[in-house]
Amino acid sequence: MQKFLWSGYRLGKSGVMLAIYGIFAAYIVYLVVTAPLLSTKLIFGGVGLFVLTVALYFEYLKILYANMIAKLTVDCDIPKAEELQNKLIKRDFAKGFQKSLILFDSLLLMDQGKYTGCSLHLQEHHEFFHGSLDYLFIYYHTQLHLAYFFNDQELAERTYSKLQSLKNQPKKKMKPLFSWDEIEGVNYFISQRYSKSIQAFEKVNTNLFNPRELVYYRYMKAQTLLALKRQQEASQLLQEMNTEKNTIKIGR
């Protein structure tokens, strides 16, 4: 169901943008047809064609980027996501998607199970991730997940403290990119407070989670249930996770 909803949203958004460009193209044709002088027709036609070509090419790159993200976050298909990433890098002549690709690589490395590589990636682009509150939220959320997979309680404590500082920021300054209940659940698990962890995980509203987020949520909640000796519930969650995870490599 989640895959259907996310795919529908993506197609709808692309359809709206193409309709806008269609209206713009029709307006350019109208200006060319109604212009009294040939020179004016050529100017309107030339400028309009150039602007439309650039805009459509950029829109094509945006669609390519959106498809790349969808392959990773909706289909959980790492090879296809990498294929689209390579295509985007080759065709992004203006390098307008470099920052977006830094964010994408943090997801990709995590999904490949390359946790050390993901940690190094965060360090390499430390300045970039500290450029805005939203990027900083992504940085520390990713770092908390790394602490989970590394079983590094010291890193978790430092990261959780940073996340709490972000939580106290005015809501208008930062997008609600992640669930605070999920963050609590992960942090409690790392500190071996399993009862608190499961309480937090059970508060998480997963209605807006994409399939990739559900994979991590189900895995982490299942590990908490296993720690509480609730094997049957954990097995059910892991079974659900395995139907969604596709090529994601996940494990502690």
Secondary structure string (H, E, C) spanning the chain: CHHHHHHHHHHHHHHHHHHHHHHHHHHHHHHHHHCCCHHHHHHHHHHHHHHHHHHHHHHHHHHHHHHHHHHHHCCCCHHHHHHHHHHHHHHCCCCCCHHHHHHHHHHHHHHCCCHHHHHHHHHHCHHHHCCCHHHHHHHHHHHHHHHHHHCCHHHHHHHHHHHHHHHCCCHHHCCCCCCHHHHHHHHHHHCCCHHHHHHHHHHCCCCCCCHHHHHHHHHHHHHHHHHCCCHHHHHHHHHHHHHHCCCCCCCC
Of residues 15 and 40, which shows the higher confidence score? 40
Instruction: Identify the pLDDT of residue 156.
Output: 98
Mean pLDDT for 68-87 is 98
Band of pLDDT at residue 48, cut at 50, 70 and 90: confident
Q: State percent of the chain over pLDDT 90.
A: 73
Where is average pLDDT lowest: 13-22, 35-44, 98-107, 121-130? 13-22
pLDDT (mean) for 60-85: 96
pLDDT of 61 over the 60 cut: yes
Residue 5 has pLDDT above 70, yes or no: no
pLDDT reading at 84 higher than 80: yes
For residues 169-189, give the mean pLDDT. Answer: 92
pTM of the model as a whole: 0.84
